[in-house]
């Protein structure tokens, strides 16, 4: 089918090619208030073209033209524009001239149907652009197939083709190389002696017989039990260092969000009871760990703006309500920012630090406060925990936005009344023989 269409178009293009050869001949014209048809008669004799006139063309039209060594094409176009006329090519050497009125344009101006299949652009956005710029009224879209069907003049369709080519571009994409490091360090030092902190006295029961108030009169050192705690010597030191590394690589389309979760989904159980005594349980999941959200915006100069939202969470402790529902206390650290980086540039985000210092003392009152001997009457526990999160991100542009060249980005669009028409600019004539005609 495509070969048949191309063949038909090539056959239709042959008359215009031969007609263009005749139009490129040079001619000199000098007419003052001459009948327009007389001017076309002279041009017909020189070029060998046949001019046919519509019946509604006014016979009293006159023209004044003084042109030297200009092409026949430029002379005919100037005569038609200045007298509100249009032309229609009939064959290799025949042209129909008719008035440029809405009704005559409907009668003679050919219309074509063109179908555009869009691969990347939004169908509605492209159709709105065509309606706004080309002023096409007969336009149908199919969002399911991603196609646009329009009916208009060949000049308007050619302009619509350039507009579609400008908009139907593939979305840029970027590969984000992310590296997240969480460094943890803990130091624990416990030194001293834990002395008993309480003394208990209790009557001794004989043969398991419960005591009564009268038995208290017989208490002495032989029937009272003494209870005292243990003495513990503490000499402990613990050091631990650790790091958690995540190195994901994400490929994202322009202005689309991507999410990364490295961690666990912790269940939270909720118990619900109604007035009838029916008890039901529901389970909800909470994401705990490393959560990273990125949204890139790729520019023409291969720079990438990235919106980053980083959150690191961990379980602190379990919380059980009076009704038996289980929940968790979650500690979080987060950062949100927007960066603009070049292709291949690396940015490091740091400063998400959690630093805890805890000191616990257990001393004997009085003597435990002595400068040196106090170590023999008490125990001290120092616990230091520190963690820091580093985020490194590097964008790699996989598919960038192509900057169109000037010839593609800017083109002639005709006039307000004739969309897509060729501009009224004279071409340089060929250095060949030319004919001179004068009348008036």
pLDDT digits (tens, 9 = 90+) for 268-315: 777 777 777 777 777 888 888 888 899 999 988 788 999 999 888 888
Return the structure tokens found at 262: 């490295």
Shared-domain flag, residues 148 and 163: yes
Q: Is residue 216 part of a domain?
A: no
Supply the DSSP symbol for 414: B
Q: Strand runs (DSSP E) across 108-248, as ranges?
A: 112-117, 138-142, 147-152, 173-194, 199-203, 224-228, 232-246
Q: Is the pLDDT of residue 326 over 80?
A: no
Q: Is the pLDDT of residue 227 over 90?
A: no
**92-109 burial: b if 16+ Cβ within 10 Å, else e:** beebebbbbeeebeeeeb
Burial (CB count <10 Å: 0-12, 13-18, 19+), residue 295: middle
Looking at residues 189-196, what average pLDDT do you find? Answer: 79
- Beta-sheet pairing, 249-253 with 173-194: antiparallel
The count of structural domains within the chain is 3
Q: Is residue 72 part of a domain?
A: yes
Shared-domain flag, residues 345 and 240: yes
Shared-domain flag, residues 184 and 70: no
Segment holding 167, helix H or strand E: helix 154-167
Distance CA 370, CA 21 (A): 117
- State the pLDDT at residue 346: 92
pTM of the model: 0.61
- State the pLDDT at residue 123: 93
Going by C-beta distance under 8 Å and a sequence separation of 6 or more, which residues neighbour residue 435? 26, 27, 28, 46
Q: Is residue 63 part of a domain?
A: yes
Q: Is the pLDDT of residue 435 over 60?
A: no
> Tokens 């720079």 map to which residue?
303
Q: Is residue 438 part of a domain?
A: no
- Place 14 in a pLDDT band, splitting at 50, 70 and 90: very low
What is the average pLDDT score of the chain? 81
Distance CA 282, CA 108 (A): 74
- State the pLDDT at residue 174: 93
Q: Is the pLDDT of residue 17 over 60?
A: no
Distance CA 297, CA 304 (A): 6
If one compares 212 and 254, the residue with the highest pLDDT of the two is 254
- State the pLDDT at residue 8: 59
Q: Is residue 9 part of a domain?
A: yes
If one compares 116 and 390, the residue with the highest pLDDT of the two is 116
Distance CA 374, CA 365 (A): 10
Q: What percent of the chain is modeled with pLDDT above 70?
A: 85
Segments forming the whole domain that contains residue 165: 112-169+407-419
Shared-domain flag, residues 271 and 349: yes
Neighbours of 258 (CB within 10 A): 17
Looking at residues 394-400, what average pLDDT do you find? Answer: 90
Give the residues across from 356 on adjacent strands.
385
Going by C-beta distance under 8 Å and a sequence separation of 6 or more, which residues neighbour residue 66? 29, 30, 31
Shared-domain flag, residues 72 and 16: yes
Shared-domain flag, residues 80 and 144: no
- State the pLDDT at residue 186: 85
Helices 36-47, 72-82: crossing angle, 10 deg rounding: 160
* Chain mean position to CA 7: 42
Q: Which of 46-60, 257-271, 372-386, 411-425 has the lowest mean pLDDT?
A: 411-425
Q: Last residue of a domain, which of 80, 108, 136?
A: 108
Secondary structure class of 275 (helix, strand, coil): coil
Q: Is the pLDDT of residue 128 over 90?
A: yes
Q: Is residue 431 part of a domain?
A: no
Shared-domain flag, residues 104 and 140: no
Q: Is the pLDDT of residue 414 over 70?
A: yes
Shared-domain flag, residues 355 and 411: no
DSSP 37-92: HHHHHHHHHHH--EEEE-TTS-TT-EEEEEEEEEEHHHHHHHHHHHTTEEEEEEET
Kindly list the distances between the CA atom of residue 435 and the CA atoms of 19, 49, 72, 209, 253, in Å, as whole numbers in the listed order.
Answer: 18, 15, 11, 147, 63
Shared-domain flag, residues 11 and 39: yes
Shared-domain flag, residues 17 and 137: no
> Tokens 């016979």 map to which residue?
59
- Residue in 76, 74, 72, 99 with CA at minimum distance from that of residue 86: 99
Shared-domain flag, residues 412 and 360: no
- Beta-sheet pairing, 26-35 with 434-439: parallel
- Residue in 180, 75, 125, 134 with CA at minimum distance from that of residue 393: 180
Kindly list the distances between the CA atom of residue 139 and the CA atoms of 117, 131, 150, 157, in Å, as whole numbers in the listed order.
Answer: 14, 8, 4, 11
- Place 433 in a pLDDT band, splitting at 50, 70 and 90: very low
């Amino acid at each position: 089918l495509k070969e048949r269409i191309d063949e038909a178009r090539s056959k239709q293009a042959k008359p215009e090619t031969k007609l263009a050869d005749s139009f490129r001949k040079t001619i000199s014209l000098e007419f003052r208030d001459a009948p327009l048809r007389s001017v076309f008669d002279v041009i017909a004799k020189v070029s060998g073209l046949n001019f046919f006139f519509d019946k509604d063309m006014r016979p009293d039209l006159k023209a004044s033209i003084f042109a030297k060594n200009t092409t026949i094409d430029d002379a005919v176009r100037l005569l038609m524009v200045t007298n509100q006329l249009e032309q229609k090519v009939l064959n290799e050497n025949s042209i129909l001239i008719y008035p440029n009125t809405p009704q005559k344009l409907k009668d003679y101006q050919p219309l074509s149907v063109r179908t555009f299949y869009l691969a990347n652009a939004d169908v509605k956005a492209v159709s709105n652009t065509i309606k706004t710029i080309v002023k096409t009224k007969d336009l149908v879209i199919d969002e399911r197939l991603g196609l646009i069907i329009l009916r208009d003049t060949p000049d308007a369709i050619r302009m619509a083709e350039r507009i579609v080519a400008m908009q139907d571009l593939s979305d840029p994409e970027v590969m984000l190389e992310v590296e997240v490091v969480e460094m943890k360090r803990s130091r624990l030092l416990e030194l001293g002696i834990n002395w008993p902190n309480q003394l208990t006295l209790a009557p001794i029961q004989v043969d398991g017989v419960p005591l009564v108030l009268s038995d208290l009169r017989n208490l002495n050192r032989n029937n009272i039990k003494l209870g005292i705690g243990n003495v513990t010597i503490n000499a402990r030191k613990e050091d631990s260092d650790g790091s958690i590394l995540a190195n994901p690589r994400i490929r994202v389309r322009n202005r689309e969000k991507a999410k990364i979760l490295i961690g666990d989904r912790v269940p939270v159980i909720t118990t619900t009871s109604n007035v009838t005594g029916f008890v039901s349980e529901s389970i909800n999941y909470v994401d705990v760990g490393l959560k990273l959200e990125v949204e890139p915006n790729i520019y023409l100069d291969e720079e990438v703006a990235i919106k980053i939202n980083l959150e690191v969470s961990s379980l602190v402790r379990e919380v059980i309500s009076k009704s038996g529902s289980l929940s968790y206390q979650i500690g979080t650290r987060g950062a949100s920012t927007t960066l603009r980086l070049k292709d291949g540039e690396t940015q490091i985000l740091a400063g998400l630090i959690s630093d805890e210092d805890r000191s616990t003392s257990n001393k004997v009152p009085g003597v435990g406060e002595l400068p040196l001997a106090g170590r023999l009457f008490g125990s001290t526990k120092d616990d230091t925990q520190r963690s820091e999160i580093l985020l490194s991100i590097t964008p790699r542009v996989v598919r960038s936005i192509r900057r169109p060249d000037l010839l593609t980005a800017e083109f002639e669009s005709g006039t307000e009344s004739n969309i897509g028409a060729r501009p009224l600019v004279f071409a340089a004539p060929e250095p060949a023989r030319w004919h001179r005609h004068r009348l008036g």
